[in-house]
Structure formats: C-alpha cells, structure tokens
Amino acid sequence: MDANLKGKVAIITGASRGIGKAIAQRLSSEGMRLILAARSDAALQEVAASCKTECHALALDLRQEESPQTLISYAISKFGSVDLLVNNAGATKRGDFLDLTEADWSDGFALKFFSAVRCSRSAWPHLVKSGGAIVNIAGIGGRTGMADFSIGGSVNSALLNLTKVLADKGIVEGVKVNAINPGYIETDRLRARIDSLASSHNISHQQASTEMARQLEISRFGHPDEIASAVAFMASPLSSYCQGTILDIDGGQTRTL
C-alpha cells in the first residue's frame, strides 16, 4: 500500500513501546519524519534508532499541563510543520469501582484524555495549515462498559466524543480526525495479565492466553502492527472520506452497534 506519506511529519505520543512503537515504525517505513514522545527517554531512543527516517525523541510527562505545548513547539522547531498527530499516550488503572481512588481517576484522565485535548489544541493551527490529520487511539472499553475497567472505559468514551467534536470542526477547517478502538492487543500490559492468570491457575502462558481469549469470545489477540497499519491508512489520502470514523479493531469482540 502506497500511503503517500513520504516526507510528511507525524507526532506520536506514547511511542516508547507497544502500539505506539509499532505506529512509529510503520509510519517511518511509509517515509514519514517523526517526533516521538513518552516519559522514558531510554526507551524512546531505542524506538527512534529502529526507525528508517529522521526521528526525534522528546521525553516528557504529558500529564503536566504545559507538556503538550512543549511537544508541539519542539516538532515545529525540528521540522517547521505538522501533518499528523497520533494521540496514543495513556494507561488507566483497572480494578473494582469502589477500590479506585480520586488519584487513580485524575491520573487516568490526565494522561489519556487531557493530553489528547491539549496536544490537539496546540497542534490544530499547524494541522489546518498543512491540511493534516489526527488519529486518536482509544479502546473498545469506550463502547462497552466492564466492571473492572471503569476509568479506562470512561476515558475512552470521552476521547471518542472528542473525536466527533474535532471531526465536526475539521470539516470546515480542513483537518481529518478519526479514532481507532483497539481490542486486546499483545503488548507488555496484556502479557502481564496473561502471566498473572497463568500463575494463579498454575498453567502455562500459552494455556492462559488461550483461556483468556476463549472467555472474551475471540479467536486470538491482536498484534500492534495491525493497529499501526490502520493508523497509516487513516493518515493517508486513502481515507479522505473518513471523518469522525471510529474503527474497532478487536477480532469481533464488540458485538453492539
């Protein structure tokens, strides 16, 4: 697939591992120049070194109110323009609703939702100028509530609504805004959950993985590269008629409309 992205500039948050790392590597393979953001400088530098195109890494905490503007300004200082913003940063705490603290809720919204709000606001004038795009990485918990995922589900729902809001604005101002809802993807976080299940039931990792997939009524878990491919599509002219689209990539786990 020729995504016609060569030479364009992408900012990717949460780029140090998992889905963010896969997105960075895929967009680099499409010829995009990259700005990568996350909290771990060492991990970011490893990802940057694995990319084929010019790539700059900026370690910062996007929960801090000033960090998104710092990130966008850094991108402009390096490349002079922005064509794509991928809001991927954010991990939220799981647990019983009554056990989650005020700090847990604040942290979940600060990193995933408010960083996306602030990055989008700071990048918007540059995206208008370039006729660029935003891709928000949310999650299927935003569509389907789960008892142990109250923070993540609430944050993802808010991010999906923000996607629709910005898409509506983007129709007039020439910015394409869409979202991707990953299901259960084979990342370090998922592997840790599988390991915990394996340990508690005294079974192998593979057995635990198979059992977890069975309980979720899916045939397998997804791969980060599958999300990255969708981001490349959403960033490219091939998706020019996608505006406010919410794409579930979850192996069929979401069965509701």
Residues of the chain below pLDDT 70: 1
Query: What are the residue ranges spanned by the domains of the chain?
Result: 9-185+223-248, 186-221
- Please state, in angstroms and rounded to a whole number, the distance separating the CA atoms of residues 180 and 230: 8
* pTM for the predicted model, two decimal places: 0.95
The pLDDT score that the predictor gives to residue 183 is 96
Give the closest residue to 114 by CA, choosing from 76, 155, 80, 171. 155
Number of neighbouring beta carbons within 10 Å of residue 100:
17
Give me the CATH topology for the region 9-185+223-248. Rossmann fold (3.40.50)
The pLDDT score that the predictor gives to residue 190 is 85
The pLDDT score that the predictor gives to residue 44 is 98
The pLDDT score that the predictor gives to residue 1 is 66
Task: Say if residues 167 and 182 touch (Cβ distance below 8 Å).
Answer: no
Sheet containing strand 176-182, strands side by side: 55-59, 33-38, 9-13, 84-87, 133-137, 176-182, 246-249
The pLDDT score that the predictor gives to residue 226 is 98
3-class SS of residue 236: coil
Rg (the chain; Cα; Å): 18
